[in-house]
Amino acid sequence: MRFLTRVVPSLVLTLPALLPSALAVDSRGYPATAKTNVVDTYHGVKVEDPYRWLEDDNADATKDWVQAQNAVTMPYLQSLPGRQAIYHRLKTLWNFERYGVPFTEGGRYFYAKNDGLQNQSVIYTVDKLNGEPRVLIDPNALSKDGTVALTGLEVSRDGRLAAYGVARSGSDWQEWRVRAVETGEDLPDTIAWVKFSGASWLKDGSGFFYSRYDAPAEGKELSGANYFHKLHFHKLGTPQSEDELVYHRPDHKEWNFNGRVTDDGHYLIITATEGTDPKNRVLYKDLTSPTNAVQELLMAFDADYTFVGNEGPVFWFKTDHGAPNHRVIALDIRDAKTADWVEIIPETQNKLEQVSLVNEHFITEYLADATSVVRWHSLAGAAQGELKLPGLGTVSGLGGRRGDRETFYSFTSFTTPPTIYRLNLTNHTSELFRKPQVRANLDFYRTEQVFYSSRDGTRMPMFLTHSVALSKGLTHPTLLYGYGGFNISLTPTFSVANLVWMEMGGVYAVPNLRGGGEYGEKWHQAGIKLNKQNVFDDFMAAADWLVTNRYTKPSRLAIAGGSNGGLLVGACMTQRPDLFAAALPAVGVLDMLRFHQFTIGWAWTSDYGSSDNETEFKALYAYSPYHNLKPGTRYPATLITTADHDDRVVPAHSFKFAARLQECQAPGGPPVLIRIETKAGHGAGKPTDKQIEEAADRLAFLARMLGIKVDLPEEAGTSDSSGRNRQRP
């Protein structure tokens, strides 16, 4: 490929004719955003919030502002050099069969499949693994534009009924229905106002447990705070209004509940969480009699307790109690004193990520420097072998019932699309079930893991993926992606958009920041609340390392992240604007003083803290992206992305940040744009066509700002050793 070596000149925006005439235009062509004199006082500190009015997503003024911003952004992105070539390449590469991990119930197999460009994956069922599959649920038939997505699927033990959840336009709100597997017809049962919940059937299939909120106030469906989660039981054939309220806590509005029926059908395990804190409480209900009351089991809220399985009244849990990297314990619910717990699988130097109980064995997945290692153990905890994996990557799946003799798993990496394997649990051998065929030479790219030092000397891992022909000692366009929060681990995953970025000559870099879960709870704690600045320091140190080691230079370095990662991008671009040429904050948490006042934002105080607390307010105010923008500063070229139905991180965060950033950008500075998707939410369930359009816009924006001449193949083929693609069929 050929690249421009000069820095792209600053962009002067011109306003399209379709801008609403009611809105004025500033001297640079941006919609002029009105400012108000709203001032809040936090612990004696006065804080201006001139764009507070943009928080009202139902106001006509806000809708006009959204229309005006999109009227600038969309035509500009469409006109970028190479944008159409990028779009067509994305569409070509996206068009490959993708499978979900199969599972069995009642002797039948169920799995998801996408033919390539279907907006939503389709659920299939089949009697025999190599038999002729039959469509069970096709979400694409539920809307013309693909904006109705499947959010969950739970099949009854006998395989006759499938409870499934759907969400519209990307909202977190779900509606659950029940479908007869044999006929493919829906029963009359409909469950509304479900959020942050799956379903769990009674063993006899007569009904299922689920959790919901009360119906929100009209007009507040996408912005009102969500409190008082309630666990219900739905009996088939009855209206939702008659559902039994199994458990709730009116004295604790922040508690959320998840109900799971044990494999033997004897107990209902109730997990009570509080916000996004990994710690939880555990209760249970003996299901052998409907009159049995819910019993408290682990209520100290002192650790994470993930139920694995049981042998009668002996329950197995994966926990970080006394073990920051997690271990497996057994406790007898008849006398569950800590001193009587039995350690089954001890803590190791690697984090224990997940445990399943299948074929009378514990199957464990560990993270070793953010890559998967899979082992199996006897019920007594004895190590009995390790699964041979294709390389460094990420494993998911490995679930099933205790008596199953097989399970399935997916393996993926930065250069391997999700590949499905069947694991024979009798002899522990794997066989390929489905291997996707991407129309590109994936052998032309490789991943290396490097380690660098953060500001305080902490050793940090980072994945670098790029062409095998990458020239050492030269500077390349580099996209640095991060998250760093909520105990979430960033492990290797495949992305068509990242593949196209590398075809454009780019380096894709992913550091594993503190605040995540890659190294257990200590790693998580080192990046939350008053330690949150560590996360930003880790990310900026990664950027400095890339520059020092001549992978890139600031004029060719872009940063990206979504949600909590959007906060990461916002904080780093305000703290070190000279270090980056472009920034892509997506659906970001950008107003750190008011995030807890919308939808489920209150739940994030376990990671962020709250402006209601004076000490935490000082830390939040010091890095809040919206509040730390300074007039006249030259900020990186910025493309903010959000969506009108995002009820996880409400779009007001992005609206206010965009307005303030446009105001503060230095004269002649690079562009500041906001792209506001319609009929979409935080990201889950986004239709394929919208994903491709957004990816094309983001890559075209980066190409323009980092000086990349787009020279992509039109179709598939090979790449020669010079790095220039010659990919024709």
Active site residues: 563, 682
N-terminal to C-terminal alpha carbon distance within the chain: 19
Which structure tokens are listed for 234?
Answer: 């739905």
| Number of alpha helices (DSSP H) and beta strands (DSSP E) in the chain | 10, 41
Residue with tokens 């038999």: 131
By residue count, the chain amounts to 729
Identify whether the C-beta of residue 672 lies closer than 8 Å to the C-beta of residue 570: no
- What whole-number distance in Å separates Cα of residue 44 and Cα of residue 160? 62
What residues contact residue 576 under an 8 Å CB cut-off, 6+ apart? Answer: 540, 543
- What whole-number distance in Å separates Cα of residue 359 and Cα of residue 639? 50
> 92 phi and psi, to 5 degrees?
-65, -45
DSSP 98-152: EEPPPEEETTEEEEEEE-SS-SS-EEEEESSTTS--EEEE-GGGG-SSS-EEEEE
Nearest residue to 385 (alpha-carbon basis) of 393, 375, 394, 398: 375
Identify whether the C-beta of residue 226 lies closer than 8 Å to the C-beta of residue 596: no
- What whole-number distance in Å separates Cα of residue 275 and Cα of residue 254? 7
Residue with tokens 């911003």: 69
Which structure tokens are listed for 172?
Answer: 């977190």
Neighbours of 72 (CB within 10 A): 23
Neighbours of 473 (CB within 10 A): 7
Nearest residue to 387 (alpha-carbon basis) of 357, 366, 413: 366
Task: Give the SS3 label for residue 671.
Answer: coil
The secondary structure element, H or E, covering residue 72 is: helix 60-78
- What whole-number distance in Å separates Cα of residue 420 and Cα of residue 435? 6
Angle between helices 614-623 and 564-575 (to 10 degrees): 70
- What whole-number distance in Å separates Cα of residue 389 and Cα of residue 410? 10
> 621 phi and psi, to 5 degrees?
-65, -30
Identify whether the C-beta of residue 259 lies closer than 8 Å to the C-beta of residue 231: yes
What residues contact residue 408 under an 8 Å CB cut-off, 6+ apart? Answer: 101, 102, 103, 397, 398, 420, 421, 422, 423, 433
Task: Give the SS3 label for residue 52.
Answer: helix
Identify whether the C-beta of residue 54 lies closer than 8 Å to the C-beta of residue 659: yes
- Please, how many CA atoms are within 13 Å of residue 422, restricted to the half-sphere of its CB? 16
Identify whether the C-beta of residue 269 lies closer than 8 Å to the C-beta of residue 259: yes
Read off the amino acid at residue 69: Q
Neighbours of 444 (CB within 10 A): 20
- What whole-number distance in Å separates Cα of residue 364 and Cα of residue 352? 7
Which structure tokens are listed for 354?
Answer: 């997940």
Task: Give the SS3 label for residue 268.
Answer: strand
Angle between helices 496-503 and 688-706 (to 10 degrees): 30
The two beta strands, 361-368 and 351-358, are antiparallel
